[in-house]
Amino acid sequence: MADNSEVLARDGDKGDMARFFATWVRHPIAMGAVAPSSRAYCRMMVEKATTELDGPVLELGPGLGAVTRALLEKGVDPARITSIEYDRDFADALKTRFREVNVIQGDGFDLDKTLKDQGATRFAAILFAIPIVSMAQEKRQALFRQYFKRLLPGGNLTQLSYMWSPPVRPVEGVFTVDSSDIVWNNIPPARVWIYDQDRRGTDRANEGNA
Ligand SMILES: C[S@@+](CC[C@H](N)C(=O)[O-])C[C@H]1O[C@@H](n2cnc3c(N)ncnc32)[C@H](O)[C@@H]1O
């Protein structure tokens, strides 16, 4: 784990509430929340993400960097983190705030286009905070299937969402879904949703070979 005290010392979240709210007024669907997630909620997100695996870490929808900060506080090396943010002003702010993080202004729904890597990069963990409530369930599942192709073995996808039931239903043989305890210290209180690779297909095949 990295000592990120110097990187974090440069960060300041003064004015983030007002800035976040002003952006929500202009783009309520893309923002999905009126305020940044609380520190407790971001810490829970990072605790549940498989950042202990070797490999790059992908953050989707970082906003003004509440989860990015929690990743750095946990000691994740900033050079491992790629953060994709659609809002140009937010992306610029993140680039100034976290210079060692690979911040990309672009569409987190289309990784091939945004990462320009023809699907080559695999991640130890994907931390997802883009609002998807307006998306049909089948589309959400199709999106997550794509994300799971980008995970290293054992890696997971964690999601910030205020929904009380799984925002994306499991897809057999691809991913399962679970949740953290409710984090009450957030407006509104919410859980972290945890999607793990569904090993059942592989396990059954291995049993057949035994
Ligand atoms: C609910 S906010 C979460 C911000 C931050 N992670 C937090 O928890 O405070 C959602 C963020 O996703 C960004 N976003 C929306 N659509 C996106 C897309 N297609 N690609 C990347 N980011 C997107 C929004 O601009 C916004 O910053």
CA distance 185 to 40: 6
Q: For residue 207, report the distance from its CA to the centre of ligand 1, in Å.
A: 42
Q: For residue 174, report the distance from its CA to the centre of ligand 1, in Å.
A: 25
Atom 14 of ligand 1, residue of closest alpha carbon = 61
Residues in Cβ contact with 19 at an 8 Å cutoff, skipping those fewer than 6 apart:
64, 93
Bridge partners (DSSP) of residue 84 are 60, 104
Q: Percentage of residues in the chain with pLDDT exceeding 90?
A: 75
Q: For residue 203, report the distance from its CA to the centre of ligand 1, in Å.
A: 36
Does residue 76 or residue 19 have the better pLDDT? 76
CA distance 208 to 201: 11
H or E element at residue 29 = helix 28-31
Is the pLDDT score of 161 beyond 80?
yes
- Contact assessment for residue 127 and residue 81, using Cβ atoms and an 8 Å cutoff: no
Q: Give the pLDDT score at 33.
A: 83
Exposure of 185 in the CB half-sphere (CA atoms within 13 A): 7
Is the pLDDT score of 107 beyond 80?
yes
**Strand ranges, E, within the chain:** 57-60, 81-85, 102-105, 123-128, 151-161, 175-179, 191-197
User: What tokens does 168 get?
Assistant: 């994306």
Average pLDDT value over all residues in the chain:
92
Which atom of ligand 1 lies nearest, measured to the CA of 23?
A: 25
Residues having CB within 6 Å of any atom of ligand 1:
30-33, 36-37, 60-63, 66-67, 84-87, 90, 107-109, 129-131, 160
Instruction: Give me the domains of the chain, ranges plus CATH numbers.
Output: 17-164+173-209 (3.40.50.150)
